[in-house]
Amino acid sequence: MNGKLKWICVSALGIALFVALTLCLQVPVFENYYLCLGYIVMAVWLCCFGTLSGTLAGSIGVVLYCLLTSGMRGMPGWTVGNVVIGLLLGLTFRFTRPMKSTALKAVINTAAVIAATALGILVVKSLVDSLIRAEPFVLRVVKNVYAFIADAVVLLVGLPVCMSLRTTAKKIFPDIAK
């Protein structure tokens, strides 16, 4: 199997895992919001297989999840927000990957997770939701604070998982793993 086909298959696996973890493991934390464990898959794919693969896992994964559970409700905002998060984190992981200092890498990646999630959820998702629902932007930001906190926590918890699985991914998929 050539590298492009492996990459497509691994990316599709990431999408499927995002959906499966999101559907199967719902840990309630706020009123009507739960920890979306699919974000761990997104983080691992961003770290191990690159920006595009991880962004596809998070954005197409959320589209499929929404179609399976609630239809269009929330899908456009989540999808565009996940694209922003994926692109920013993917670029950050590419930048920090060659760094020797584990502590510096952890600080930069942690700051990137918080900043990317804030931009993706509090700004982009809120803006898309505001335009679609014709609600004030500030109201959408307030409503999305829970989502920001929960998603940032899951992504932060996923950082050590990323680092530990990266070596394994490179052994199993040496031609496509980053």
Q: What is the 3-state secondary structure (H, E, C) of 72-135?
A: CCCHHHHHHHHHHHHHHHHHHHHHHCCCCCHHHHHHHHHHHHHHHHHHHHHHHHHHHHHHHHCC
Q: CATH says 3-172 is which class? A: mainly alpha
How high is the pLDDT of residue 27?
72
Mean pLDDT along residues 96-102: 92
pLDDT tens readout for residues 136-178: 999 999 989 988 998 999 999 999 998 889 889 999 999 999 8
Helix H or strand E encompassing 35: strand 33-36
Say how many C-beta atoms besides its own lie within 10 A of residue 100's C-beta. 6
Mean pLDDT of the chain: 91
State mean pLDDT over 1-14.
90
Sign, CA torsion 23/27/28/33 = negative
Task: Note the pLDDT tens digit of each residue in 28-58.
Answer: 776 667 788 899 999 999 999 999 999 999 9
